[in-house]
Every structure is written in C-alpha cells, then in structure tokens.
Amino acid sequence: MSSSYKLFSDPIHGFISVPRKLLLPLVKSPEVQRLRRLRQLGVGNLVFPSAEHSRFGHALGSLALMQDALRTLKESGTPISDDEFEASLAAALLHDIGHGPFSHTLEFQLFRAVPHECLTRRLIQRMNERFDGALNLTLEIFDDTYQRPFFGNLLASQLDVDRLDYLRRDSHFTGVIEGSIGVERVIRTMRVYPREGGAGSRIVIEAKGIYAAENVLVARRHMYWQVYVHKTVLAGDHVLVAALCRARSHLKDGNNEAIRNISPTLAPFLEKSYDKSALNDSNVLDAFLELDDTDVMASLKCWMHSTDPILADLSRRFIERDLFRCVFLPESPDPDTIRAWKQRVADTLVQMGLSNREQSVADADYYIFVDRSSHSAYHRKEGPIHTLEADGTVSEVLARKDSRALDALTHYVEKPYVCFPKAADLGI
Amino acid sequence: MSSSYKLFSDPIHGFISVPRKLLLPLVKSPEVQRLRRLRQLGVGNLVFPSAEHSRFGHALGSLALMQDALRTLKESGTPISDDEFEASLAAALLHDIGHGPFSHTLEFQLFRAVPHECLTRRLIQRMNERFDGALNLTLEIFDDTYQRPFFGNLLASQLDVDRLDYLRRDSHFTGVIEGSIGVERVIRTMRVYPREGGAGSRIVIEAKGIYAAENVLVARRHMYWQVYVHKTVLAGDHVLVAALCRARSHLKDGNNEAIRNISPTLAPFLEKSYDKSALNDSNVLDAFLELDDTDVMASLKCWMHSTDPILADLSRRFIERDLFRCVFLPESPDPDTIRAWKQRVADTLVQMGLSNREQSVADADYYIFVDRSSHSAYHRKEGPIHTLEADGTVSEVLARKDSRALDALTHYVEKPYVCFPKAADLGI
Amino acid sequence: MSSSYKLFSDPIHGFISVPRKLLLPLVKSPEVQRLRRLRQLGVGNLVFPSAEHSRFGHALGSLALMQDALRTLKESGTPISDDEFEASLAAALLHDIGHGPFSHTLEFQLFRAVPHECLTRRLIQRMNERFDGALNLTLEIFDDTYQRPFFGNLLASQLDVDRLDYLRRDSHFTGVIEGSIGVERVIRTMRVYPREGGAGSRIVIEAKGIYAAENVLVARRHMYWQVYVHKTVLAGDHVLVAALCRARSHLKDGNNEAIRNISPTLAPFLEKSYDKSALNDSNVLDAFLELDDTDVMASLKCWMHSTDPILADLSRRFIERDLFRCVFLPESPDPDTIRAWKQRVADTLVQMGLSNREQSVADADYYIFVDRSSHSAYHRKEGPIHTLEADGTVSEVLARKDSRALDALTHYVEKPYVCFPKAADLGI
Amino acid sequence: MSSSYKLFSDPIHGFISVPRKLLLPLVKSPEVQRLRRLRQLGVGNLVFPSAEHSRFGHALGSLALMQDALRTLKESGTPISDDEFEASLAAALLHDIGHGPFSHTLEFQLFRAVPHECLTRRLIQRMNERFDGALNLTLEIFDDTYQRPFFGNLLASQLDVDRLDYLRRDSHFTGVIEGSIGVERVIRTMRVYPREGGAGSRIVIEAKGIYAAENVLVARRHMYWQVYVHKTVLAGDHVLVAALCRARSHLKDGNNEAIRNISPTLAPFLEKSYDKSALNDSNVLDAFLELDDTDVMASLKCWMHSTDPILADLSRRFIERDLFRCVFLPESPDPDTIRAWKQRVADTLVQMGLSNREQSVADADYYIFVDRSSHSAYHRKEGPIHTLEADGTVSEVLARKDSRALDALTHYVEKPYVCFPKAADLGI
C-alpha cells in the first residue's frame, strides 16, 4: 500500500512529493546530498540569524514549484508527456549542483572564469552516464535546446521556478517580508503560448496575474538591496575572500607552516588555478564534489592560530564575526582617494601589529576593498515577460498601459562602496 | 491580580492589549460596537469569500499599531506623555466611526456631500461630551491642530496606522498576498524629526526602512487594482447603488407598496436628502448610529418580492450574487457609444420583461454605468514621505538616488469601465 | 484557453479550485450563496473580533479538503471514478446548507426537534430535482448508503473534511492557535482499507499519521472549551435566545405593537411552531432559504425601541454587547439555590424598572439560565479511528500502545454554569 | 538618534530587540557567536530538510521570550528591577553555550559524565570574570539560588522560555505543525505568586491559560516522537557515534594513518577522556570553544578515504545519508536475540568486504545498536505546573477537574528499537 511518492516536509511548501522512480534516486545521489552542506545565502546568516537554509531545501522547493507549474499548464490544455514531466522535475532539482562553498562569494576563486552553470552542466552529464541516459531530456531542457522551449522558460527566465522559490525562501528565512511574493498566483496564471507548446512556444502570464508578476520583480529588487548586498554581507564576503587569497599566497609560496591544517579537500582548489579545462578531469570533479562550506569553516578555524598574523586576524574576524565596516558611497572614489585610504589602512595594520612598515601597503590589499553593487530588477535581455490578454493576444509587459512601475524596474542602479577595518579612520 | 489591560485575540497582530482606563470604555461604546456590523470591504466578500472582516477589527488593529509606533518613538528618544499616548490610541480606535453601511459604496448616498471624516469628527465630539472632555486631545490630533504635529502624521499620512493596518488586514483576509507589507519594519524605523517632536515636527523613516516604505506603496497599488476596484467589486457596487436609488425613487413618489418592509432605520436616509446641516440634528445622528450593513441586506431581501420588477431584480441580483458584467475599456467611450449601449440595455430589459417600451430607456439608467477608476500610489500632496539619512539629514524620498521606482508610483492611472447585465450584448 | 476550474482565494487553503461542470453551478446556487450570510461561529465574533467568517468559506474549504483527500487516496491505489469524485465534492460543499441563522444557538428555535442535517438533506433533495438527478450519488454519500462506505467516512466521521476545515478555520480566525491542526499531514496519511474500497471499506490513518490525528482530537477539545463554549459566547447565546423567545410570546399573544418591524422573513418561524412535517411544505423551505443572520440582527435593532421594556433591554444587550455574566459552577446547583437566584434576578428587574412585582418572577425566566456544557473529544460511538500499521494490519487507535493520551480524550467532561445580569448579585 | 536596542530579524518572533548595554556585547562574544555553528537539531536536518537552524537563533529567541514574559509580569504588578531584567535576559541568551557539536548525540562522548549544563555554568563563570562580575546575578538565576525564585522558573521549568522557544522553532523549521504551540498565550497568562515575588514565589498560569499550557505539553510529546526520536534521526545518531568511536579507537591505538586529517580541534576530545576535572583547565575550555559541527563534518569527509574500511564506510554513510535501518520493537529483545542479530550483522560485514571472520563480531559493535527511547510529557518532579484560579487560589494542574488529559501526559512511555545496516536481514 506504499505510495509512489516520498514526502518531504518543508516550511515553505508544506509537503513536497518526490516521485520514487527517477527523482528519488537523484535526491539520494551524493551530488544532491552535498547541497545540504552549502548554505543558500553564503554569509547571509551573519546578518540574518535564521538564514541558515541550505541549497538542498531550495533544490526540493524548485522541484515542487516545477510540479505545480506543469500541473497548471496541463490543466489549461497544453499536452505534457510523462517523460517531459519527469525530465523537468529533474532539471529543477539539479539546476544548482555546480555551486561550490559560499556560492557566489567564492564562485570564481575555485575555478578561474568558470561560472557555476558550467559546473552544473558537467555534473549532470556525469550523472547521466551513471543513470544510463535517463537525463538526456533533462540536459536538453537545461541547455534550452529542447524543441518545446517553454520548458526552458520554466527553468530559466525572469519568472522561473528557481527565482520563485529562492525569493520566497530567502524572504522567509531572513524575515525580510518585503521579499514575500505571490508565488502561487504567478504559477496559477502561467500559460503556454501558443497553447500546444511547440517550437517557438513560451511561458506567458494571464493578464490578471500581472500584479503578482510585477510583485516578483519588486520583491527581487528589495531582496537584492536589503539582503543580497546588505553592507554587512558585503563586509563578510570580503573578509572571507581576503582570508582565502592570503592562504592561497602562502600555498603558492610553499609556506606550509602558515596554513597548517588546511582542509585537504580545499587545498588543491587554492593551490592550483583550475580553469575550464579542469572540467574534463574526473579527479577534479570528484574533489569538487567533496568540497563544501564545512571545509572552508574548518580551515578558517585552524588558521586563527596561523603563524601569519594577517591570516590569523582575517580568519578570526570571520569566525568571531568581527567584520569590516562597509560604507556605500555617493559616487566612485577617484584613484587618489583610494590611494590615501589604502595608506590609512596600511598605517592601521602597523599600529595593530599585523604588519610592518615595508609590507603594510602590500598587506593593505587584504584589508580595503573598493567595489560597486549593481542591479536592475527587470532584465529585458534575459527574456521579457509576456502577458496573455483576455482577447487571446500576447504582449510584452512593458508595452501595456500602466507599465510605468515596471518600466522603472528596468532601471539599472549602481552603488559604489568601500570595506575596511573599523579601526581605520577614513573620515567617512 | 487583574491586569490593567484587556487582551483581544487577532489573527493579524496576535494579542492586542487595550488599556482599561479610557480606552476600554470607548471600545464598549455603541459607536465602536456598531463597527462590528460594518464590513471593512463593503461588497469585497462577493469576490474574496473570506473578506468578511469588520471595521471593528480594523479599529482595534489601528490602535495596536499606534501603540507600537508610539513605543518605538519613545524608545528612540522622543518624549511622549501618558495623556498623549492615550489620546493617540483613542484617535486610532475612533478614526472610522463615521462610516455607514457599505462604506465607500454608499458614502454619498446617505448624506449628500458629507464625507465620512465629517461624520467621524461629529460623533467623536458627541462622545467627548459624554466622556466629560476626555477626548479633547484626541480631537486636536484628529483635526491635526495639535502643537506636536507628528501625532497627526501617525493618524493620517501616507504611512499612517490606518493604512498599515488595512493593507495588511485586507491582504490577509482576501488572500491577495501581493498586498502583504512589512508593517513591523516600517514602524520600527519610524522616527520623529526633530527628535523632540515640537512644532513643525514630522514622522520620518530611517533610511534603512526605505524599502519597507516603498513596499507599502507598491502593496497599496496592487491592492487597489486587484481588490478595491476589482471588476466584480465594481459590478457589485453598482448593483447595490442602483437598488437603493430605485428604492429611493419609490420612497419619494410615496410608492410604499414597492418598498414594503424597508428597514425603518434605513428609510429616512433614503427619503430625506440629509446634508451637512443634518450633522447638528441629534436625532439624525442617533438614527445613523443604528444603521449598518444588516439594514441594507434585510431591505434588499424584502425587496426581492417588490411589486416593482426592477427593484425586485436588482435586489435579487445582489442577494444571489448574479451581478453585472464589468469591462475595463482602453479609453472613455464617447457619448454616441454610450447612447447606443444604453439603448441595447433598454431593449434587453424589455426582452427580460423588466420594463416596457416607454420606460425602458429611463429604466436603463439602473442597469448601465460608465465610470472610471483612478489611482496613484504615492500622493505627494497628501504629505510626502521623508527619510532620515545616516548623517542625520532629512530628505523627501523622491529626492534620493534610486527613486525611480517610487517616482513611477506617483503616476496617476485611470481606467474607464462599463457595467451592464450579462444578457445585454454590447459587443465588447 | 480558459481553465476548467475557477479559483477562489482563501487565507486557509490558498487557492481553491472549483471544477466548472457541476460544482460551479452549485456554488452559484441561492442555497450556497445564502451561506455567505450565516456566520460560522454564531455569536463567537462577540468574543473573538475577527471571527466573522461565514459558512460559505467553510463550504468551499470542505470541498478543497475533499479534493486533497481523494487525490491522496487515488494516488495510493484506490480507484475513484470521475462521478464519485464530483459527487463527493458536491457533498462536501453542500453538507451545511440546512443551517439557519446563528446556527447552533437557534437550531431548535426555528424548527422544533429538527436537526440541521434533516434540513440539509431535504434541501439537497430539492436541488437534485432542479439539477435533474445530478446529485443522486451525492445524496447516497450524504446518507451513508453508498456501496463504498469510505466516501461517507470522508464526509462524516471523527476526521472528516468538515471538522478538519472548521477546526483550522475557526482556530485561524479566532487567533486561538491551540486549535491549529496538521490538516495536511492527516490527509496525506489517509488510506482506504481494504485498498480497493468496496463494501465494508473505511478510511484509516497510516501509523505515522497517528500524532497528527491525535492532535486533531486535542485541538477539538481545546477549541470546544476555549471558543465554542467560552463563557461570553454562552452569555451571548442566552441573551439572543431570550430575546427571540420574548418576541415569540408577543407574536403568539398578537401583541404586534411590541414587535413592530420584525423581519417578515423571520416572523413565521417565531409565530408557527414548525416541525418535521414542515419539511414537506415547499413554501416553508423557500422561506427558510431567505432567512439568515441579517433578519435576526435587523429585528433586534428594531426591538431596541419596543414598547416592551424587557424585549427592548434584551435586544439592546445583544446589539451593544452588554451581555449577561456567565459563571461556571463546581457542580449543578440544587433547586432551592436556583429558586433563590431567580428571586434575586426578579428583584433586580424590578429595581431596573424592567418589570413589576407581579410579573418579575415570570420575567426572570428571560434573565437567568442554568445549564451545562459537556464534551468528549473522542467519540468511539461516532465511529472509531483506525490506524494502518506498517505490517498492513488495522487497529483501533485505543488498542495501540501509548494510547493513554487518546484514552483520556474519550473522557466525558461536563461543566454546569449559570448566566444572569451583572447587576444581580448572586453571591458567586 | 540611534536606538538603545539592536534589532535582529527572526522568522519566529519578528524583530528581536537586544539592549545595547550588556546584552549586545554578550551576543558578540565568541561564546555566543559559536552557537551559529551548532545546529539546534543535531542530525535532524537529515530527516527534515529545512531544520538547519542553529543554537544561535534559539538563544536570541529565548532572550526574546524572556523579555515578553518579564514585561507581562511587570505589567501585572510584580516589581522587577532593571538589573534583574538584564540578568534574566543574559541567562536566557547564555543558557545553552555549553553545548558541543551535535549536542545531545555527542554530549557524553566529548566529556565523560559531564552534562552540558555544567559546561554552560563554567563558561558563564569565565565570561563573568571577563565582564568584571556583570554576570553575578545571571549566575544566581542560572543556579536557581536567587532569593526571588520565580526568575529561575522562567529559565528552567516545564514552561520555561527555553522550551517555549525550541518547541515553536523546531516545529516551524521541521514543518511538523503538530508541535506549534500558543507561546504568546502562555506568556500572557503567566503571573508570579505571591504577586510581590519574594522568597518562595513561583510562576503560575492564569486559569484561562490552562489549555495553552496543556497544549505545550502535548506539543512536546508530539515533537518528541515525531522529530527528536524519529527513527531516521536515531539511525543518524548511531552512525555518527559509531564513526567517532571508531576514530577514537584508532587514536588510542596510535593508528594515525587511519584517521589522517582529523580536525586538530576535535582530536584531543577523542584522544583524551576528559571528565569533570577538565572543566578547571582553561586550555580545555578554550579548545572546547573552538569545537563545533564543522570539525566533525570535515573530519568525517576526510575519513571517507580512511585506510580503515569500517571508518571509511561509517563516514561515507553519514555524509551521503546512507543511514542504518531503525526498527521500533514491541518489547526489548532478549540477549539471545541480540546475539543472533549481531552475528547476522557480522556476517554481512564480511560479505560487504568491510571485515574479516576474526574481527567481524567485534566490528559488528559499530553496526548494531539496541536501545530504547523514553518520554513523559509532564514531569511532576521537574516542578509541577500551577494555575492561578479566578478566586486567587493556586492549585497544581493535576488537582483540577478535567485534568484527565494532563494526567495521561505524566505517563512514561518507552520504546525499544534496533539500528542496523539495511543489507543485514534480521527478519524484522
């Protein structure tokens, strides 16, 4: 009398039912289980104490939303085969398996110039071999080469199941309820146009769902500025990157004493400069699959006792949450200002006994960061959002009346900022 | 060991604690108890089945938010006396007691050209006499003549406790979660500027609360179009107004047979054309305080058996929810179009046996309505929203960087529409 | 491209999808629309301000849960035909249409000795004629005569969709979260035993759902004592019943002056003593279908001006929420005590000018009520709850190990109480 | 204009305000920051994917509830000084700092016979020295030696802030809503008896809060069986303990090759058998403060490549969530059965190539566990719950009428179980 589904309990979606056939073995694979050890928000929990949720929950949530979306589409008359159903769910489940520890923070630190999507694709390919081609269609949907392109829209577009889940999930766990969104309404108003869903078909939103869709874009903008690039999150990012860069330099110099007890899993990713070519090396992929947040944390904790006072200080700062100060600036500072700031920081390092006169300017590179955050909530280039009007026609949302609010969301906003130790007085 | 507060249980705010001294007697007054019999959303429950919440819950909710806001302001260093505290709570509790049945729908039907604020003011004044002047300060705050104007801001401005409660409450009970707003965050970031709160002081929002505030404006816009002027809500409004106008015409003609069993409470308000001068007539005010949604409903149910087929039809339509069709139009129709439509409706009335050739065009006035809805989410004129920057300066939100999204919300949107019986084919 | 479902937005279940074929016309019927004008909790909103939800929302909610339950059962291998699916949904939607105004409070006041289930059955039967027999199967399920009895269990048993919805709904709207229950878990663990669902089949709960099921029983007990028989709710019930009884006595005496402006819909139900035989009178049924909470409220408001001071006082008490005092007693009072109390109340009526020496003892019958509330959370007689063990066997929950907590819930608890005017000092 | 509070955003309590004076420095201390790296539910997230919440969130939540409770008590007339207020908040914040990685699972593995409360006390004492005695009163409350004992009740009793927070928090993050409890109602009905709160005073619950309090006990029982000793949680516990025991045996044997790359922080706790005396060794305490979940996880990941196939297998099982099977038994198995089962497991280990004939029975000790879970929801010995009746008297809850349900909760339930590899067929 056992069911053909396994239920997972989730504070966001209630019960998530995972079909036992292909999907449950995928959930049980080491690739997906590893997502349990990657926090969804990287260092976000340093600002929002309960934002400790993992990428595993998000993977299941994306699967759940894909299920809801496909049911809505079927029910509104678009034929979807069992194989397509299963392959789409697999794509939603696996869409983030290429993320490494502290995801976006360390994304290009571990593989030079390799975005996580490339790693994801490569890892799905490997799983596909293990699963005897059961993921062929999943790969087509992931690559957006499938002949019925609306499946690709569900996986990657401005209103895809990935975003719908993470906005709602991150909003919930951070408690930033400005990011809460009408996920159910968006999904219930999804349609395929043309309805049969052949070549050239896309996901559109019924006109009555337009406010829910707009709300997703607004929520994304609010989450971006209030959570994803919160100034303390940026400060945490930079402390973490600085510590790893410092460790990397010791590794390259063969200065093993300073980085004693580095996690053996993490070591090769700092020592070697893996790039795209490494994706063909099965050993590198195996190593990557063993790497997660705990290796970084365990290494930082060891480095708190490093013989290098700078590495020890940076590690301690991260572990004890004694982060940099981060200040948003009205405009990007000019090179002279930056130079003066860096000198100030260098002086501070000397005063703090972390560096000496000769080294201090070079060492300051680990202690001051001038950068900028930028965001536009609605990216026309990522594929515009279309609505299905009551008369059966389709139009881009920006072409509609009352699109002023949406239009504003296409606006690109850029905020320069600087991070530095609180002890350094930069006069800002 | 009894507490100096009485607790009310509320799905929105948890427990609401009402101080026993002045406030609890006010809650128990007939003026406030009557709010239990006024639905907050008028006919909104015809579209959103659970939106049956009353103005009484909203009055308590406004009081609760006023309490939270005052505590935040005190805690951030603005002195607030016990009298001011109590008077502000009373103002929040009483701010809507002048509403009549089906509030906005019938607002100017019962008192010609008298907005509900005038009635509210008059009724508070009468209560003040009964309470021996205990509401003097409440009246000053309500009139916005109090020497510390920030109290007036809390009661009536773009981020007042009234809006913060009703947006969240209406969003909850309708299930339109696009209207959910970060009430707690907005309130926690409120400050008085200048801090002492003297003459010229106003409520400002700390810069970090700006997204929550923007979210309130967006939520208001979404609730407006998705709930408050939902096309079926408009259709319900017009059926209700038509039935009452029809009854009124019978009353004026002395055609008592047609309106048999009209609620004796409702009758005078249809029969006489009360205007501002009636506010001085204590009997009229007493009568008004006995009037609520149930009188209208009970009358409509009786009129379903009226000898006038039109009144019977309109009443039945409302009771059985067989409402008009409502169509939003790309632009306002010209007089010729309207005339042609009205003829179409008149013909339909004849076909349905509700009217005859001679009367049908006149009768059609009860069956076709051309009107427009309009809205702008951010009304600078209603008092702009100001933010308190990290450096202690204050600026209007629109003057800030990244104000593009807010700027769009100042945009005034107008949507013409027409309501008519489904049986009439207007070709739209 | 329109969907075969219509969506209703609900704070409890999110979106409820109602199939357009048979179900939507049923929702639109006057019988179901009338439920909008019956509050689910009768006078409960006098204690819990937001508990203004109607029986209409509960009817839709029951339908939604029936849908979820049937899907779970189908998915776990029990065949369910489209006709059975539709008929079960209709049964859930219609299961309460026989309720009158202020449901349980007035249940036997309007029809002598006719429980609401009889009225419901009769009304479904009439609808069935109008719908040309489309409700034949619905009636069989309602009567529990259908050959596959598990459908009857879903509609009426200790874990039926009615209870699961109302416990969760009432808990939500009252804010008494002790009544919140794991509805989804209970439904997801429902199975049919034996699985094919033939004669003798019943709904059982998978063993892992036992805590959720127990929680439903505990929640029911808590809701019973904290909400359904809250002492102020009992006080409200008795004031309302007293007013109607007083009006009824005037009606019978032909004392029309005292009850001027009684709702014409309500009048016959007070005047005549309808009993079971009236269910065959189509006019009575038509009249009943026009009767709802608003008729009672409108009548009470008129009676506040009655020439009978007692009727005026009782009506005012209800409208202005100046209710009786209600005291739970350690044990049932003896006749002497009751007689003494009644004399005290009679004296009070005289002092208050509501009665005179001669009448006061008779009149006191409207002002003092000695009664008892009783409850047991788990009624074995109503059909015991069975669990499906991991080994495929079925056992009654009380026969399991660790059933002590459940066993306690079978315990029958009785609480005597007395209601009387606050002004009367009974020394308790 | 800065506030004297710092706000933390929390999905359970909304905003938590932490006073800046003493409390904020405590929050920032390494002792409290370390709680971010301890999962509240140990291995619970292996069953409930979103249950990744840390002890840090729980510490803040306990502080928040302590604040609410103290405000309620003050408001009901019990005097509480500012120092007492602050000390109680500190006690709530710090009450769990003595927990180690995977709390209860490893509690007695790292310190022999030292419960976490002892460690907590010792660590608070050390902090007190650093904070120049600012925690003197906190220690008194923690030790329950303070002259006003009701503070101790709030911190440790059957309805303390610890339980109220963790039940609600765990219920939320696991999605097991049967564990949701009316925290706010319990806290709002707390009173001190006698009201002045002197010697002999205790926390009591107003009679009207009795259902909320009972609900806490029921919720605790449900969470216990559905979450805390869920069979897969038990399986995870035993795999983890087995892996650490195996590593410990290699450490003791000096077999360093097998446990290469053990976290240097974890090593001494496995190598040495610390007991109570170690609490006086400042170095041991420093080492303990560096130890958290990440050290265990990082070590397990390294040991997946151990030269010892058993350590490698156990580690892999935990990391890839390939856990044991866990079966609850009707009664405790007799020694012969256990011996037979162990032989079966030993044979399986040989078949799987993990052991050889000679070693297999000894090795089986790492693969089969016979144990029992036990629980009673209401522990009279832990200090009974008292209610404050309407007449001002106090009684133990079990002495009240209708205590049958509570009485059942005092019942002690014991469930024997066995854990073993799925590959071993024990015939159960």
Residue B409 to chain A, least CA–CA distance (Å): 6
Task: Tell the burial category of A329 from Cβ atoms under 10 Å away from its Cβ (0-12, 13-18, 19+).
Answer: middle
To the nearest whole Å, the CA of A323 is away from the closest chain B CA by 20
Q: What is the pLDDT of residues B321-368, one digit of tens each?
A: 999 999 999 899 999 999 999 999 999 999 999 999 999 999 999 999
pLDDT confidence bin for D107, thresholds 50/70/90: confident
Distance CA A259, CA A312 (A): 10
C-beta atoms of C15 and A185 within 8 A: yes
Contact between C402 and D413 using a beta-carbon 8 Å cutoff: yes
Compute the Cα dihedral for D356, D362, D363, D364 and give only its sign.
positive
Residues of D in Cβ contact (< 8 Å) with B76: 1, 3
Shortest distance between the Cα of D178 and any Cα of chain C, in A, equals: 6
Contacts of D188 in chain B (CB under 8 A): 7, 15
Is there a contact between B212 and A401 if contact means CB atoms under 8 Å apart? no
Q: Is the pLDDT of residue B1 over 60?
A: no
Interchain contact B3–D (C-beta under 8 A): yes
pLDDT above 80 for B314: yes
Name the least confident of A53-62, C271-280, C362-371.
Answer: C271-280
Give chain A positions within 8 Å (CB) of D179.
none
Looking at the complex, report in whole angstroms how far the Cα of residue D366 sits from the nearest Cα belonging to chain C: 27
Contacts of B321 in chain C (CB under 8 A): 28, 33, 36
What is the pLDDT confidence band of residue C380, given thresholds at 50, 70 and 90? low
Given a cut of 50, is residue A52 above it in pLDDT? yes
Q: Is B184 close to D14, i.e. CB distance below 8 A?
A: yes
* Confidence tier at A380 by pLDDT (50, 70, 90): low
Decide if A407 touches B, using CB distance below 8 A.
Answer: yes
Residues of chain B in contact with residue C30, where contact means CB-CB under 8 angstroms, are 319-320
pLDDT cut 90: percent of chain A above it: 78
Better-predicted residue by pLDDT, D217 or A142: A142
With a CB cutoff of 8 Å and minimum separation 6, the contacts of A156 are A95, A144, A162
Neighbours of chain B (3+ CB pairs under 8 A): A, C, D
Q: What is the pLDDT of residue B2?
A: 57
Q: What is the pLDDT of residues B386-399, one digit of tens each?
A: 999 888 899 888 88
Cβ separation A15–C392 shorter than 8 A:
no
pLDDT at C59: 98
Cα nearest neighbour of B48 on chain C: C9
Measured distance between the N- and C-terminal CA atoms of chain C, rounded to whole angstroms: 68
On whether the CB atoms of residues B328 and B415 are closer than 8 A, the answer is: yes
Q: In terms of pLDDT, which residue wins out, C126 or D428? A: C126
Residues of B in contact with A182 (CB under 8 A): 176-178
pLDDT at D3: 67
Give which of B50, C185, D12, D391 is closest to A172, Cα–Cα. D12
Using CA coordinates, name the residue in chain D closest to C329: D401
Any A CB within 8 A of C199 CB: no
What distance in Å separates residue D2's CA from the closest CA in chain B? Answer: 7
**Percent of chain B scored above 70 by pLDDT?**
98
Closest by Cβ to A45, choosing from D36, D264, D292? D36
Q: Is the pLDDT of residue B45 over 90?
A: yes
Tell me whether D300 touches chain C (CB under 8 Å). Answer: no
> How high does pLDDT run on average in chain C?
93
Contact A10 D53 (CB under 8 A): no
Smallest Cα distance from D134 to chain A, Å: 22
For residues C50-59, give the mean pLDDT: 96
B83 to chain D nearest CA, in Å?
18
> Would an 8 Å CB–CB cutoff place A264 in contact with chain D?
yes
pLDDT of C162 higher than 60:
yes
Residue D6 has pLDDT above 70, yes or no: yes
Task: Note the ipTM here.
Answer: 0.93
Write out residues 360-389 of A within 8 Å (CB-CB) of C: 388
For C225, nearest residue in chain D (alpha carbons): D211
Mean pLDDT of D366-395: 86
What are the tokens at D421?
């590899």
pLDDT at A404: 73
What is the rounded average pLDDT of the residues D255-262?
Answer: 92
A184 touches chain C (CB under 8 A): yes
Candidates B49, B53, B261; nearest CB to C60: B49
pLDDT higher at D181 or A259: A259
Element (H, E) at C26: helix C23-28
For residue C226, the chain D residues in CB contact (below 8 A) are: 211
Contacts of A175 in chain D (CB under 8 A): 9-11, 14-15
Mean pLDDT along residues B309-321: 97
Which of C177, C221, C408 lies at the smallest CB-CB distance from D408?
C408
Mean pLDDT in residue range B359-387: 88
Touching subunits for chain C (3+ Cβ pairs under 8 A): A, B, D
pLDDT digits (tens, 9 = 90+) for B106-123: 888 889 889 999 999 999
B177 part of contact set with chain A, CB < 8 Å: yes
Which of D404, D406, D410, D428 should we substitute to test contact with C (largest number of C Cβ atoms within 10 Å)?
Answer: D404
Mean pLDDT to the nearest integer, A77-90 = 97
pLDDT at B280: 93
Nearest-CA distance from D142 to chain A in Å?
25
pLDDT score of D1 more than 50: no
**Which spans in A76-102 are helix H?**
82-94
pLDDT at site A208: 86
For chain A, say whether B225 makes contact (Cβ under 8 Å): yes
Residue D374 pLDDT > 90, yes or no? no
pLDDT of residue D139: 98
Tell me the per-residue pLDDT of A139-194, one tens digit each, with 9 for 90 and over. 999 999 999 999 999 999 999 999 999 999 999 999 988 888 888 989 999 999 99
Contact C408 D407 (CB under 8 A): yes
- Within an 8 Å CB–CB cutoff, is residue B1 touching chain D? yes
User: For chains B and C, what is the number of CB pairs under 8 angstroms?
Assistant: 120
Q: Determine the pLDDT at residue B390.
A: 82
D-chain CB neighbours of A293 within 8 Å are: 294
Model confidence at C3, pLDDT cuts 50, 70, 90, reads low
Q: Among B180-184, B201-205, C273-277, which is the least confidently predicted range?
A: B180-184
Tokens of A46: 């340093």
A402 reaches C (C-beta below 8 A)? no
Residue A1's pLDDT band (cuts 50, 70, 90): very low
**Residue range B215-238: mean pLDDT, rounded:** 92
| Cβ separation A1–C76 shorter than 8 A | yes
Task: Extract the tokens encoding A401.
Answer: 């009346």
Which pLDDT band, with edges at 50, 70 and 90, does D179 fall under? Answer: confident
- Using the beta-carbon criterion (under 8 Å), do B188 and D4 form an inter-chain contact? no
pLDDT in tens, D53-69: 999 999 999 999 999 99
- Residue D11 has its nearest CB partner, among A15, A30, A173, at A173
A335: Cβ contacts below 8 Å, ≥ 6 apart: none
